[in-house]
């Protein structure tokens, strides 16, 4: 038997956990070939925002915790780099696996590449073409220094080629967030979260808001007023990110008492997806939710000027509203507009992305067959 390859994954935020969990499971199923090490940077440090994911997704406790917490972009990135370097020196993995586009992603990639360790980027090639978004900078830099680029949509392939990355480095494997959803679907459906919260299935709106462009300035007041108004027309469920809650209640302390509006503490993955699957639709500024709603066929109204996931708009159920919270007033009509469209699930969003990723990591050429079959 040959030497086992050591794969070290770095996670730090809720979406990271969902992207990595199915890969951890796939690596564990091939323990004769792989050893896996999990590092949690602590970028999301609230227990409800992170620890519950280790329990719900079956990832298990991290092998290393960096306990970075919140801070400015520079401070957070620097702290991850400083605390991760000795871990990488001690573990000396064959591949450092980084998901997504958060500060932990960029920091881990930079440390690894400076130590001469190969970096594999999950969800490579996504572009909003808006460099004012910190995530866009993180994506571009991480892709520029990664040796393995795992993509889940055709336009990502085009972006990476346009930026000079070699086609041999790009692997169209599918969407590991959808892998997690597929694996957890039975538990999601069995929970029946709407009934637990006294919500009429198919009639309520879910809201998630957290991006600085919307939360850190005057648009938040507009959003709060619109949410108060729309809650008089349909029930609104708002699991509130801790940072958003602090700013929102400073802006409008009475919003929590608005009739028809249910403001919740952050909920776990299974409960949130159970609420999402039975909703009339979602209002969000998140990236990952655009994908989950596309897979589930749930209308998604996105309060952003752009999206790094255009496939969710061209093939899926996503409608970009722009950075215009006043459009929340039209949510019922907009949801009907989206619901009337034809949509389909993007190629390779089939629950098997993690297996294809592990095939690539193992050097199996057949990992590319599915992508070749759809012309990428």
**333 and 356, same domain (yes or no):** no
Gap between the Cα atoms of 93 and 85, Å rounded:
12
| Res 303 pLDDT > 50 | yes
Residues 19-31: tens digit of each pLDDT: 999 999 999 999 9
Number of domains in the chain: 2
Give the number of other CB atoms < 10 A from CB of residue 103.
27
The predicted-structure confidence for 305-322, as pLDDT tens digits, reads as follows 999 999 999 999 999 999
Same domain membership, residue 159 and residue 105: yes
Confidence of residue 53 (pLDDT cuts 50, 70, 90): low
222 and 95 within one domain: no
3-class SS shares of the chain: helix, strand, coil, % to 5: 50, 15, 35
Are 88 and 203 members of one domain? no
For residues 191 and 317, state if they share a domain.
yes
- The CATH number linked to 230 is 3.40.50.2000
Per-residue CA distances from 206 to 272, 285, 298, 300, 328 (Å): 9, 12, 11, 9, 12
Please state the pTM of the whole predicted model. Answer: 0.92
User: Per-residue confidence at 48, pLDDT binned at 50, 70, 90?
Assistant: low
Statement to judge: residues 210 and 125 lie in one domain = no
Structure tokens at 202: 């198919």
What is the DSSP secondary structure assignment for residue 98, as one 8-state letter? E
Question: What pLDDT does residue 105 have?
Answer: 97
pLDDT of residue 351 exceeding 50, the answer is yes
CA 292, 295, 296, 298 torsion-angle sign: positive
355 and 309 belong to one structural domain: no
> Can you read off the two tokens belonging to residue 332?
């019922």
Buried (b) or exposed (e) across 262-276, using 16+ Cβ within 10 A?
bbeebbbbbbbbbbb
Host domain of residue 75: 5-175+348-373
pLDDT at 2: 66
Q: Which residues are catalytic?
A: 210
250 with 330, same domain: the answer is: yes
Confidence check: pLDDT of 45 > 60: no
What pLDDT digit, counting tens, does each position of 128-186 carry? Answer: 999 999 999 999 999 999 999 999 999 999 999 999 999 999 999 999 999 999 999 99
Same-domain status, 44 and 157: yes
Same-domain status, 200 and 80: no
Mean pLDDT of all residues in 103-107: 97
Q: Are residues 278 and 313 in the same domain?
A: yes
pLDDT above 90 covers what percent of the chain? 78
For 202-213, what is each residue's pLDDT tens digit? 999 999 998 888
263-284: per-residue pLDDT in tens?
Answer: 998 888 899 999 999 999 999 9
Whole-number pLDDT of residue 306: 94
pLDDT band at 365 (very low <50, low <70, confident <90, very high): low
86 shares its domain with 211: no
Q: Cα(64)–Cα(139) distance, rounded to whole angstroms?
A: 24
Q: Are 102 and 12 contacting, i.e. CB atoms less than 8 angstroms apart?
A: yes
pLDDT of residue 366: 46
């Amino acid at each position: 038997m040959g030497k086992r390859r050591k794969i070290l994954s770095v996670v730090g935020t809720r979406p990271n956990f969902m992207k990595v969990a199915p890969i951890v499971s796939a690596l564990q199923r091939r323990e004769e070939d792989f050893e896996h090490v999990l590092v949690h940077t602590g970028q999301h440090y609230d227990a409800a925002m992170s620890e519950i994911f280790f329990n719900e997704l079956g990832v298990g406790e991290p092998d290393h915790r960096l306990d970075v917490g919140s801070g400015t972009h520079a401070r957070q990135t620097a702290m991850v780099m400083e605390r991760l370097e000795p871990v990488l020196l001690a573990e000396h993995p064959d591949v450092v696996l980084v998901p997504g586009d958060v500060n932990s992603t960029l920091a881990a990639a930079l440390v690894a590449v400076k130590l001469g360790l190969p970096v594999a980027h999950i969800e490579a090639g996504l572009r909003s073409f808006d460099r004012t978004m910190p995530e866009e900078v993180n994506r571009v830099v991480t892709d520029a220094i990664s040796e393995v680029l795992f993509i889940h949509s055709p336009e990502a392939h085009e972006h990476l080629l346009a930026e000079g990355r070699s086609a041999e480095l790009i692997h169209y494997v599918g969407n590991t967030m959808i892998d997690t959803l597929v694996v957890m679907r039975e538990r999601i459906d069995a929970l029946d979260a709407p009934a637990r919260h006294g919500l009429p299935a198919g009639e309520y709106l879910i809201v998630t808001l957290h991006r600085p462009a919307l939360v850190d300035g005057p648009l938040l007041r507009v959003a709060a007023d619109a949410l108060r108004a729309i809650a008089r027309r349909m029930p609104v469920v708002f699991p509130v990110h801790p940072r958003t809650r602090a700013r929102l209640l400073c802006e409008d302390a009475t919003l929590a008492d608005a009739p028809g509006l249910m403001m919740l503490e952050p909920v776990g993955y299974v409960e949130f997806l159970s609420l999402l699957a039975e909703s009339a639709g979602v209002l969000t500024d998140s990236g990952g939710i655009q994908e989950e709603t596309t897979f589930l066929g749930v209308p998604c109204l996105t309060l952003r000027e752009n999206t790094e996931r255009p496939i969710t708009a061209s093939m899926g159920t996503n409608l970009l509203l722009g950075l215009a919270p006043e459009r929340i007033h039209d949510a019922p009509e907009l949801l009907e507009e989206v619901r009337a469209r034809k949509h389909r699930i993007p190629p390779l969003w089939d629950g098997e992305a993690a297996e294809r990723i592990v095939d690539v990591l193992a050097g199996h050429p057949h990992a590319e067959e599915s992508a070749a079959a759809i012309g990428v």
